[in-house]
Structure 1
Amino acid sequence: MIKEACVESYFEAKLAQDRGANRIELCSDLANDGLTPDFETMKKACSELDIPVMVMARPRAGNFVHSAEEIEHMKAAIDQAKECGAEGVVFGLLTAENTIDEANTRLLAKYAEPLPVTFHKAIDELEDPVEGVRILKTIPNIKRILSSGGKATAREGQEVIRKMITEAEGKIVILVAGKVSNENVSEIQQTTGTSELHGRKIVGDLTL
């Protein structure tokens, strides 16, 4: 089981590592579901931690419909992640019609190479997240999809998550999120069948 801790500072990242996290998703502004972290935090985490750091590339809060200018901001974040030695990047893009923005996702996934891409919880905005998997598994370099099955919690979304895993056909990892904590991570791993889980409190409260 891989436990990915979602953090917004080096202090939290180091504490998560010390408590047994296997990987970090580094963001800023988790109150708004995570934005691009600042360069100095990115650099410190990537250089000083012993576990992989995935860097969020999200230029603003709100929806996931991004303009051409915002795509350029996301490219800049990817450049910084590469410069810092990150192990991967995290982003998600939708169209105004609430479908996967396939064109820009392909563009950024290609731009991110050789860093692997996690498509984040934007997929949970779709009417059918399973259809989102069907599209994303055709895009090279999308290695993971972060999802709670379109529900508020992984427990509520477990049936959809299982369908997403089946649809992924082993081509993409479904990284399960949605109120996953140190108290329920084993249960959620068993009920969904995933091998990788993600949470703010996956190794306990990091804000102490």
Structure 2
Amino acid sequence: MSNRALLEVIALDAEDAVAARTGGADRLELVTDMAADGLTPSRETYARIRAAVDIPLRVMLRLADGFLAGTPAAADALVQVAQGLRAEGADEFVLGFLDETGDPDLVTVERLMVALDGCRWTFHRAIDHAADRDSLRKQLADLPGLDTYLTGGSPAGVDDGLPTLLAEAARGGEPGYEPRLLVGGGLRLDHVPALRTAGVDAFHIGGAARPGGWDGPVAADAVRQWRAALDA
């Protein structure tokens, strides 16, 4: 069995997707509006990216900045968006919501599970803002399709979160820790050796794939540098 690490790259459009794929990305996270830390792209954007590349696409389900689902009407809107993306052919997703106390918003997440109908999904960096990471994992453990946690280990990202990430990597297979650990959030190439040594096999980059910042496109060469580091 290959121990090749998974490299997931954020894509905003088809141009990003093609560059990321060319550079060696295994999967894309599709978002819009990175000023709000990534919101749900349109069905049309999804369709253009799906037509442009043949690698897996995980689509963000999030309509407003922050980790609260908002009003019941906002949650209704999110469910409708999820249903629309499913109708467009999307079959992998990224989501995560907390309530006002920092516990997982199970009502909203479980409503989305119905719309996703068994699709695989990532619980994103909302875990880094949770009141209790371990409790959150155990509360979500039986949800269908949850196969990944995207986390920096801390709200501030990997620099601060590295000890947490290494500790969680060591717990793989325990109840609540079966989903794959996908490390992202201020991730740098110099973090990779310690994470790989700890058994982490999935990495997520956004700005690191864009030498010109978020106003510029994904650069295939930047992605290629990460692919080489992960394969070393």
**Normalising TM by the smaller chain, what interval?**
0.7 to 0.9
Query: Which amino acid is the alignment partner of residue 74 of structure 1?
Result: L
- Name the CA distance, whole Å, in 1 between partners of 2:102 and 2:149: 17
Find the partner of 1:189 among 195, 201, 210. Answer: 195
Structure 1 residues 10-49: aligned runs within 5 Å: 10-49=14-53
Query: Which of 1 and 2 has higher RCO (CA within 8 Å, sep 6+)?
Result: 2
Structure 1 residues 100-179: aligned runs within 5 Å: 100-165=104-169, 166=171, 169=174, 171-179=178-186
Structure 1 residue aligned with 2:205? 199
> How far apart are residue 167 of structure 1 and its match?
6.0
Percentage of pairs with the same residue: 25
Q: Specify the SS of the correspondent of 1:155.
A: helix
> How far apart are residue 173 of structure 1 and its match?
1.2
- Give the paired residue count: 207
Q: Deviations over 1:109-162 (max 9, x none)?
A: 232123212111111111332322222223222121111112422232122123
- Name the CA distance, whole Å, in 1 between partners of 2:24 and 2:109: 32
Q: Which runs of 5+ in 1 are unaligned?
A: none
1:180 aligns with 2:187: yes
- Name the CA distance, whole Å, in 2 between partners of 1:64 and 1:168: 29
Query: Which amino acid is the alignment partner of residue 198 of structure 1?
Result: H
- Name the CA distance, whole Å, in 1 between partners of 2:32 and 2:191: 24
TM-score (norm 1): 0.88
Q: Deviations over 1:177-199 (max 9, x none)?
A: 11224x34632532553211111
Q: Deviations over 1:27-72 (max 9, x none)?
A: 0011211001122111111222111111111011234243211222
- Name the CA distance, whole Å, in 2 between partners of 1:128 and 1:168: 19
Bigger Cα displacement from structure 2, 106-115 vs 13-22: 106-115
Q: How large is the RMSD of aligned CA atoms in angstroms? A: 2.2
Larger radius of gyration: 2
Q: Specify the SS of the correspondent of 2:137.
A: helix
Structure 1 residues 61-80: aligned runs within 5 Å: 61-80=65-84
- Name the CA distance, whole Å, in 1 between partners of 2:182 and 2:99: 22
1:83 aligns with 2:69: no
> How far apart are residue 164 of structure 1 and its match?
3.1
Q: Which runs of 5+ in 2 are unaligned?
A: 218-232
Alignment CA distance shift 1:109-1:205 (3 Å): farther
Deviant stretches of 4+, over 6 Å: none
Report if aligned partners of 1:93, 1:105 keep a CA contact under 8 Å in 2. Answer: yes
Structure 2 residue aligned with 1:96? 100
> How far apart are residue 204 of structure 1 and its match?
5.5
Alignment CA distance shift 1:112-1:188 (3 Å): farther
